[in-house]
Amino acid sequence: MIRPATPRKQRDATIAMINVVFLMLIFFLIAGTVAAPLDPDLELVDTAGLEGREPPDALVLHRDGTLSFRGVPTEPADYMAVHVPGPVRIVPDRDVPGSRLIEVAGSLRRLGAPSVILVTARALE
């Protein structure tokens, strides 16, 4: 007589998968580092006293709202008439009114600039 097949218990693979993931996590925590620590004797350079210079291909928007290119006062229409249409970079003064900055950027866009890029300084904090 043939015996009926006994149902086998199916093993759950979840525990094995959790163990593998946990081991991988521990491995990457030990093996990987985000950044090497700085030498405790190291003192970083202080650039607060340096005079900044704008990029040579950028318009400078001064505190009083005047615009200059390479030290020569200019207007958006005069700048766009002479230069090839392309992205325009503006270096605004920290104290320039926001309305003047928006006005200059808008007029450059209306005159054919495909994009207006503001150049700013990023400070370490």
pLDDT in tens, 95-121: 888 888 899 999 988 888 888 888 776
Q: With respect to residue 43, please indicate whether it lies within any of the assigned structural domains.
A: no
Q: With respect to residue 26, please indicate whether it lies within any of the assigned structural domains.
A: no
Render pLDDT for 12-51 as a digit per residue (tens, 0 to 9).
778 889 999 999 998 888 777 665 665 566 565 555 554 5
Which phi and psi (to 5°) does residue 117 adopt? -110, 125
Q: Where does 1-125 show beta strands of DSSP type E?
A: 58-61, 67-69, 72-74, 88-92, 116-118
d(CA 71, CA 111): 22
Q: With respect to residue 63, please indicate whether it lies within any of the assigned structural domains.
A: yes
Q: With respect to residue 72, please indicate whether it lies within any of the assigned structural domains.
A: yes
Q: With respect to residue 71, please indicate whether it lies within any of the assigned structural domains.
A: yes
Q: Is the whole model's pTM more than 0.85, yes or no? A: no
Q: With respect to residue 23, please indicate whether it lies within any of the assigned structural domains.
A: no
Q: With respect to residue 1, please indicate whether it lies within any of the assigned structural domains.
A: no
Domain count, the chain: 1
Q: What residue numbers bound the domain in which 87 lies?
A: 58-118
Mean per-residue pLDDT, 73-97: 84
Comparing 33-37, 52-56, 70-74, 114-118, which segment has the lowest mean pLDDT?
Answer: 52-56
Both tokens of residue 81? 């008439």
Q: With respect to residue 89, please indicate whether it lies within any of the assigned structural domains.
A: yes
Q: Which residue has the higher pLDDT, 48 or 124?
A: 48
